[in-house]
A and B are shown apart, each in its own frame.
Chain A
């Protein structure tokens, strides 16, 4: 692996994430479309499916909000890397966005001004289970990101309070965050970790059950309760407010119970690449 090949691979990730809706996401939207009885909501779902087809065929971004790039790096056993890797990924993302005519959406938070392609958020993890190096690009749109919430619960509350918090967050998000949603929930850790887990939850296949039986049941219960809110695509009602809820948990402190909720719009986009070894 040399620098220019890695850069090219990153550019491909940008392309794949921006033009091709994830198969698991498409599958659940299509399933919802077939099951939807409300005519207006059904039409709105058909637009979403058509949009995915047009985006792929015409090489147009699925959504004009091509997101703030979030990059997850998982480093497996025996992989040796340096900060050079981050620089090349940054270069690849910038050139990938520019070459594919995506939207420059990144600005200084105070001065604002003309948006650029420069910037992104990196998360680096070490994993014994990971063979080699895995790089995931998750461009996050801000219509849904703006609806993120964190609550530091008392450790004595029941699971019903967590359910209420998720439902309240989805209700507040409303049609603005582009339903049908995928809802990410992070439970435990610290404030920052809970929110990060909520985001990482989107990276698992959303049509697959949670390997944790308790969390799997909680996810299914929440999907039913969220769909009973009848917000629907564009806010037009019907039974499709949520495609999936994905929950992750980690151990936390005896004094606390942090819960983070992150919403993804229906255009949940991400792409990954694996490298057996990296020599730069």
Chain B
């Protein structure tokens, strides 16, 4: 088990290899289908984004509503491949990595290698368990999208497995 802490740089994540089990602590940002569509539209129009993507990790997740007394509701990963068409523009903004579930396209694997990024998978269908690893949740963009908004999550020992490492090696194969 490897412990990593954000903020982290592309140079520092090069030690991670496909198949490594990782516990991540620090900040990650949720973004799923509609948030990606909007982010890429803003990038294409050269407009300001609601968050700075450089060296950040996006988590493909749309959590449930937050019950009283909890920091977040159920918050597992959604299918990553739906975000495949949006990966390169985000990498161009300096994105470091992605967390989701399932395989990616060959193109995405090539982009991960080209931009020295990383793709993790987190326990799928385990949103209640993962809720216990999130210390706080704050909306930072596209609030009008409800669960599809961008949320800043502070996580502690969030369990991940490296699915595509910065050298483009993958454990799941391409979709």
Does B9 make an interface contact (CB < 8 A)? Answer: no
B44 on interface, CB distance cutoff 8 Å: no
Question: Does any Cβ of B come within 8 Å of A258's Cβ?
Answer: no
B132 at the interface (CB under 8 A from A): yes
Within 8 A of A (CB), among B53-111: 61-67, 70, 73-76, 78-81, 101-103
Q: B103 — which chain A residues lie within 8 A by C-beta?
A: 174-176, 235
Minimum CB distance partner of B73 in chain A:
A101
A203 CB–B CB distance under 8 Å: no
Query: Which parts of B115-130 form the interface with A (CB within 8 Å)?
Result: 121, 123-129
Given contacts A103-B147, A115-B147, contact A62 B127 (CB under 8 A): yes
| A61 contacts B by Cβ under 8 Å | yes
**CB proximity of A177 to chain B, nearest CB, Å:** 8
Q: Which residue of chain A is the closest to B130 with respect to CB atoms?
A: A51
Looking across the interface, which residue of chain B has its beta carbon closest to that of A54? B128
**A36 interfacial by beta-carbon distance below 8 Å:** no
Of the candidates A55, A103, A143, A267, the one whose C-beta lies within 8 Å of that of B63 is A103
Is the pair A176, B102 in contact by a Cβ cutoff of 8 Å?
yes
Verify A174–B126 contact, CB threshold 8 A: no
Docked Cα-Cα span, A59 to B68, in Å, equals: 11
Question: In the docked arrangement, what's the CA distance between A60 and B127, Å?
Answer: 8
Indicate if the CB atoms of B124 and A102 lie closer than 8 Å.
Answer: no
The count of A-to-B residue pairs whose CB atoms sit within 8 angstroms is: 138
Within 8 Å by CB of A51, from B66, B129, B144, B146, lies B129
Per the CB 8 Å criterion, the residue count for chain A at the interface is 40
A48 CA to B121 CA in the complex, in Å? Answer: 15
Alpha-carbon separation in the docked complex, A63 to B145 (Å): 19
Q: Are B66 and A101 in contact (CB under 8 A)?
A: yes
* Of the residues A48, A54, A60, contact of B73 by C-beta under 8 Å: A60
| Best-surrounded residue of A65, A105, A112, A115 (most CB of chain B within 10 A) | A65
Which chain A residues lie closer than 8 Å to B175 at the CB level? 174, 176
One digit per residue, 1 when the CB lies within 8 angstroms of any chain B CB and 0 when it does not, for chain A 99-123 equals 0011111000000101100000000
What chain A residues lie within 8 Å of B66 (beta carbons)?
A: 101
Q: How far is the CA of A133 from the CA of B25 in the complex (A)?
A: 50
What is the bound-complex CA distance between A265 and B75, given in angstroms? 16
Task: Flag if B65 contacts A51 (CB, 8 Å).
Answer: no
CB of A228 within 8 Å of the partner chain: no
B46: min CB distance to chain A, Å: 24
A50 contacts B129, C-beta separation under 8 Å = yes
Q: Which residues of A contact B126 (CB under 8 A)?
A: 47-48, 50-51, 63
Produce 1/0 per residue, B124-150, CB < 8 A to A. 111111011000000000001111100
Q: Is A58 an interface residue, CB under 8 A from the partner?
A: yes
CB-based nearest B residue for A266: B125
A221 near B: Cβ within 8 Å? no
A64 at the interface (CB under 8 A from B): yes
Residue of B nearest to A44 (CB): B123
**When the two chains form their complex, are residues B146 and A114 in contact, meaning their CB atoms are under 8 A apart?**
yes
Residues of B within 8 A of A270 (CB): none
Contact A54 B129 (CB under 8 A): yes
Q: A101-B67, A235-B121 are in contact. Are A58 and B147 (CB under 8 A)?
A: no
Q: Are B64 and A103 in contact (CB under 8 A)?
A: yes
Interface residue? B172 (CB, 8 A): yes
Complex: A233 Cα to B124 Cα, angstroms = 8
| Chain A residues closer than 8 Å to B132, beta-carbon distance | 54
B164 in contact (CB, < 8 A): no
Question: B159 contacts the other chain (Cβ, under 8 Å)?
Answer: yes
Instruction: Pull 5 A–B residue pairs with CB atoms less than 8 Å apart, ordered by A.
Output: A51-B125, A64-B73, A64-B127, A115-B145, A265-B124
When A and B form their complex, which 3 residue pairs have the shortest distance between CB atoms, in order from nearest?
A176-B102, A55-B128, A61-B74
